[in-house]
Amino acid sequence: MTIDAATGIARILKQEGVDWVSTFPVCRVNNALGKEGIPMLMMRDDRYAVAVADAFSRITAGNRIGVCTFQGGVNAAGMQYAYAGMAQAFEDGSPVLCITDGVPIGSSGNSQFDVVSSMKTVSKWFGYIDRPQRVPEFMRRAFTMLRSGRPGPVILAVPDPTGTYDETADPYVAVKGWKSAPDPADVTAAVDLLLKAHNPLIYAGEGVIYANAAAELKLLAELVNAPVITTLKAKGAFPENHPLFVGVRGDHVSNYLASCDLLLAVGTSLSPGRFSHGIPRAAEKTIIHCNVDELHVNKVYPTAQAVIGDARFTLQALAREVSSRTSEVHRNAEAVVLNIKSERDAGLARYREAMASEDQPINPYRVYGDLMKVLDPHNSFITHESGNTRDQLSTVYDTLIPRGFLGWGNVSTLGFSLAAAIAARKAFPQRPCVAVTGEAGLGYMLGNLEVLLRNKLGITVAHISNGGFAGYGPGFWGPGHDPFTHSVLGYDEVDMSRVLGELGLHSQRVREPSEVVPALQRALAANQSGQPSYIEFICSQYPVYGQWVSR
């Protein structure tokens, strides 16, 4: 059977289990997707087309691959705008597949923007399908890279979507993806160190989620009675009501990072960034670094023992080794748990107080506390924005299941929460999905809210309306770090609930703390019939949250 390249790509996507694609037009593959019956979620800009697919891959832990298309080729306007989304996916290591038009043979070198070199800087692999016959090969390679090894975006450029090939010449078989187990000698050496330590601390990263290894993490922690902290991106990898859970950030987390004598890092790059912890006095600690590959081993901190392999296989192997040496486990479980509880109670006290606040304007923590009351922690999705909502939610929001909360952002690109909530709605249609945002995140997403209405995507956007860009640090106000660039039209000047109500969202404005719970309940009820909701919570400026520990 002779088919064209675009049709071949569409059929292979179906074989790979892809049942929808996000896009912003135009892309010359889209007509084939439509004809082959693959629904397209048309966003209102190219960055969000990438971000929704990216978020879908993250939320499903790569078990289902998010795919997007956007304009490229000789008019790479879409690609230039999508670049921000791809850079973010690459920065955070998300296995998203981006398909775009390729510069046709004979047209290279005519534009100022160099497609090939720019795409290579934001992808695990950039493939240029230079002959239609190579469609199966390139798709095989793409899905191999998307499903194996360290996760990252793959970009495919299609210069000639109408060129034909014989579909039967190289029949496509869906790619499984492959994982590797660690060297047993490294496992034994790691357990030697672990069992000798007086104050070990497990530091879990998003690799645990991508490896579907939450159960294995819990088992190992319980076997050695070790406290657990997670990165922002791994929030939820460990049940946050577990007696061994310390936190993501806050004084209690800082204390454990400072006092541990051994850090068992698993599925994290351990890269000190703007939104992650450094390891204080690292030279005095023993660092065991379990990672999918060598890229981050011995990066910044010397690694005492690396264990290279898939996080699930690694945790299983560590647990097996520990189980065979139980006589060497000398830590008193009760003392460990008691200490965690008292550290947590002390570290969280002021936030718990704020969560019960009756203040007006509403304290943002009151909204977060009430969100925890309204949402079922085993069956809901919530995500933050860049700014205070990230810092505050990641300090206090109790997450009990992987991806009940999506933490994101090695660099934290404003507006992503909308994409995350949309992707969550696609991934878990039964779960209430909430994006918590400030003014800046809301500004980014405004043009894309029509997508929710058009596609009946019943999600809730909860706006912590505090009259300005607070951001991070002490706030943008007064002695804050950006006193000249914080002020936007606030709730006294613009009623955003009316603006978005006119658009068609179920819209509310909430000033009374006692109204937070009922407003959330109404918003989520509207979501059930497919209507998106917006709530403007009139809040105070309250830049108080757990800090990241510096090196």
Q: Site residues (CB under 6 A) for ligand TPP?
A: 385-389, 412-414, 438-441, 464, 466, 469-471
Instruction: Compute how many other C-beta atoms are within 10 angstroms of the C-beta atom of residue 453.
Output: 14
Q: Give phi and psi for 539, each to the nearest 5.
A: -120, 165
Residues ≥6 apart with Cβ < 8 Å to 266: 202, 203, 204, 205, 207, 208, 217, 290, 291, 311, 314, 315
Nearest residue to Mg ion on Cβ basis:
438
What is the pairing mode between strands 460-465 and 533-538? parallel
Are 272 and 211 in contact by the 8 Å Cβ rule? The answer is no
- Please, which of residues 382-441 interact with Mg ion by CB under 5 A? 438-439
Our CB check for Mg ion shows the closer of 357 and 540 to be: 540
Nearest residue to ligand TPP on Cβ basis:
438
- Which of Mg ion, ligand TPP, none interacts with 132 (beta carbon under 5 to 8 A by kind)? none
Encoded one letter per residue, x for contact with Mg ion by CB under 5 A and - for no contact, window 437-466 reads -xx--------------------------x
Our CB check for ligand TPP shows the closer of 370 and 385 to be: 385
Reference 28, options 99, 107, 134, 133; nearest CA is: 99
Minimum distance, C-beta of residue 417 to ligand TPP, in the bound complex (Å): 10
| Tokens of residue 15, six digits | 């074989």
Minimum distance, C-beta of residue 540 to ligand TPP, in the bound complex (Å): 11
Minimum distance, C-beta of residue 496 to ligand TPP, in the bound complex (Å): 12
Our CB check for ligand TPP shows the closer of 88 and 507 to be: 88
| CB-based burial, 395-424: b 16+ in 10 Å, e otherwise | bbbebbbbbbbbbbbbebbbbbbbbbbbbb
- Which of ligand TPP, Mg ion, none interacts with 471 (beta carbon under 5 to 8 A by kind)? ligand TPP
Minimum distance, C-beta of residue 192 to ligand TPP, in the bound complex (Å): 43
Tally of helices (H runs) and strands (E runs) in the chain: 19, 20
| Tokens of residue 173, six digits | 């078989």
Using rule CB under 5 A, residue 370 touches Mg ion? no
Could you give the CA distance from residue 99 to residue 24 in angstroms, rounded to a whole number? 11
Minimum distance, C-beta of residue 540 to Mg ion, in the bound complex (Å): 11
Instruction: Compute how many other C-beta atoms are within 10 angstroms of the C-beta atom of residue 70.
Output: 31
Our CB check for Mg ion shows the closer of 48 and 491 to be: 491
Our CB check for ligand TPP shows the closer of 29 and 382 to be: 382
Minimum distance, C-beta of residue 56 to ligand TPP, in the bound complex (Å): 20
| Tokens of residue 493, six digits | 């000047």
- Which of Mg ion, ligand TPP, none interacts with 413 (beta carbon under 5 to 8 A by kind)? ligand TPP
Our CB check for ligand TPP shows the closer of 143 and 469 to be: 469
What are the residues binding Mg ion (CB under 5 A)?
Answer: 438-439, 466, 470
